[in-house]
Structure 1
Amino acid sequence: MPQRIKDQYGHLHNYFLELWVAYGLLGVAVFAALAFWVGRGTWLAWRSGVMPNDMALFGVSFFIYWVIVNQFESYNSFWTGVFVHNLVVGGLVTHYWRWQLTRARDDDSQPQPTSQPE
């Protein structure tokens, strides 16, 4: 943000507006893409049985909570908000990566079709 705005207001008290002002539409798009990637990965890991039900429910609940809370305060602009966000998202992404590893291992263990000479 411009220094004159920071001097007068400190921060915008809405993380999404602050993100838009600081990084523009590209920053919002990158943030939305990251949220979509984590959400999709959480869904896939849960559907495959790699992520426990309670952790998937916590992830969805945290996402809804985080979106609402960041409308009124920019917690992602402070180290404590970034720390909590990284802990939760890190746990979700770890299960997604575990699902990818399990799927790749299962694909490698499948017998490969052999071509029959004619």
Structure 2
Amino acid sequence: MYRLKSTTDLSFLSDVCIEQLCVSAGALTIGGDNRVSIKIFASFAISTLGRSYTRFNGSVEDAMALLPLIGDCIREAKATVDGGMQVDFKSGAVLMVFDDSDQFESFTIEYGDLLIVV
């Protein structure tokens, strides 16, 4: 919908440790320390332990794929060329969040009072 600009500074996500995963109809929320949360409303892909990416559509059942992120910490986050976001974790896991809707929000990033809507 709004696409994440490639120049967006996501350095505030570095060293954020994932504390919780919240699942609801229509949204998966990754909650971290430092008042950070990432809400996913669309599709995402994840790679853990050096495996190839597996893509999910963001359904309630897909939340199981995110469970290994609990307790992990973000090494780096950056915008992708297609307006999504790549999040690299210290364990080697990589989360790709896609902006695959032209009509609705695909994901949000909250950090304190900052809200980024994509």
Same fold (TM over 0.5): no
Identify, as 1 or 2, the structure richer in strand.
Answer: 2
Q: Give the TM-score of the pair, scaled to structure 2.
A: 0.30
Identify, as 1 or 2, the structure richer in helix.
Answer: 1
